[in-house]
Chains A and B, each alone.
Chain A
């Protein structure tokens, strides 16, 4: 089989899985929907490996293959095939997405066992993976848009999966709305590019771009900024980030899959994919780099104060994606994507661990209520700690190599970028601190009642309550079912977490400075023409960067250890001393409030405007005033039936005609 044939299999497997589960859920017994869904993703992963092998077999120059199924859209102006692009970048993304997705499917089989919507969950999950792979493999903007919108829809379905929970549907809608803003940006960007280059496929656009656009051409910058809107909405970067923390209303495996490992990295992928454009429009790239840096420090600061375990991890995700966006915006493509991969491993692992802990807490997510789970949950403790160490970029863990490579690049490019790099190091300090905070607050300290019960061999059973509002809920439709499940007792959960823990430790070997550069070398054909191909920090500079990063991580972790396992009184005292800062952080820098004032309320007013002015005013006839009089005589016939309206229609007709005639007389000679 050729590489592209494998590519089609990658796409087909989850689609088939989704259709079988969606159509046959009534007859699928027990957990078989879950196994079927997992098997479909497993096939996808194997096919991705097939693509990789075929690609490695072929010479480097011919590692970008396009295959068309059929002609999707063809008109006089343009054609867009239903075609996939198999090149190192897409193969790399497919491997990460299908691999992590497979493990998360496996985890979900246990986690969602007693949920009433078990089969529905796997149908959605397969649909999501299909959409994500479509987005990655698309060879033109049309198909990319299809995948892009599908992914948004799948995310909506999964966030609102427990649709009886009001906060979950609200969160789903919020995510969908922001995603649609992103879609609109991407559509406009694609058409601006089409307008100038006459092509919609990547190859055509990238080939034509240098000829039609001068450097920093206004139109190109506009197109790139629009693409950034799309990327930032998907990747939850400032200022389109507010949906991600709320998206934690979805089941925990969803958070692990969509809101940590895969979908939110789509923006990073898009910027990397469009790198020839961003290199021609450095202004847009700088905007990306600055906003990415702003996000990474902002989110890290909020993660310090958030008390909901899943939300802490969510802010951490935003922050880490900020690093990736910074990386791919400054030309450090290999480093940015390297971090994307290691992050997918350790962040999925952290979410899975959090899911296990939440199971032990019978659904409670607040850090304030947790503590002392170290002995009761040894497996979760070890794996979660590994994930946290990788996140904190503790020396020799995977995150250590990938994050510091991005920062080393930033410093190497100097100027503005050096400042961004320094901010990155400061955020790294915060990152290690909140990573430590999670571990020390959940697993250390005095055992909470739930932990004690677990030590006695029983899983706590509390009332089911919405973690966001505290309302009691019944378990008929989820949350996630009447029974909770923890990794210690479910082998599929263990089987999913163990490989990720291993990868979170060793994945760094793909890019140790001066020793290996496997990943970067593999991705080289995609980024061949890049003008930053030659910009590369020296090995010694990278090693210095690593040393600084390691020291920062160790100091922060030590501080966190002292602070969180020490005297609780001291913590209260500190919080009181910095009450103002704490309030800003707890309120997420008031972004939600600003959005509410600036956007939500005006939009609601627009809706009311639609009803009151566009429609009701007609009934009342307030607006018409004098014009009504003019036509009154003519329409007295209809006065018996709803007098005002018809007259108003005629009045409006008259005004419209007058406007049109006036215009045409103005343009006439």
Chain B
């Protein structure tokens, strides 16, 4: 095996993995503040990308203006989802909320299909596709940009969860009733977490939209994002970043080794195996919180 080739696979795998992390951070944000796995994060990411396109390509705004504007719109949408749909379910069994987010995902996919159709569109971020060589290793520029965005968001949210508002969000995830009892507005906190996750969805939507085009398939990122979030431990942002890198490397290197043996298609199998094994062997993931049981 050629070492240059192997490290190229590993580095590009890690970069792709960080793009999964970018997506997974949105999942973690909502889980961290309300203990609900958000199955509509894929739909939100797709909508985020469509809103950017609507503002830039349809309304003619420049991208540097369209992206922040889309972030503001999506921030409002996140709050709106809490206000309209989730508030009624606060305190109900998680399984109902889970079903609601699944329904929301289907709804978002249908809505974008109705408004913008199903043809794939490109974002045209303007990142060059010229190959970039680090020594002998080829890396993709857009992946590098996306990985940088993921790391920047990681640092921003690590700091955020140490602020007073961040601590209140973590308190809500721990115990709704106790939060109400000390005057924390659970509703506003959950709304804020959805709003922030929707902003993350814009970032993920733009980067992934640039890589694979903007269409309904963007929402399928949920599967890999969820795998990363579960492996990292659902409520850990650090976990999402590290798990993203691990999954990216394992997937890229593993597929290269296995594909010649099975004739292709092992990439998806590796992701599935990681998800299933994580849940079986280490249900709280690499860095997730344990439920505390004192003896």
Q: Do A and B come from one complex?
A: no
Chain B residues proximal to chain A, CB less than 8 Å: none
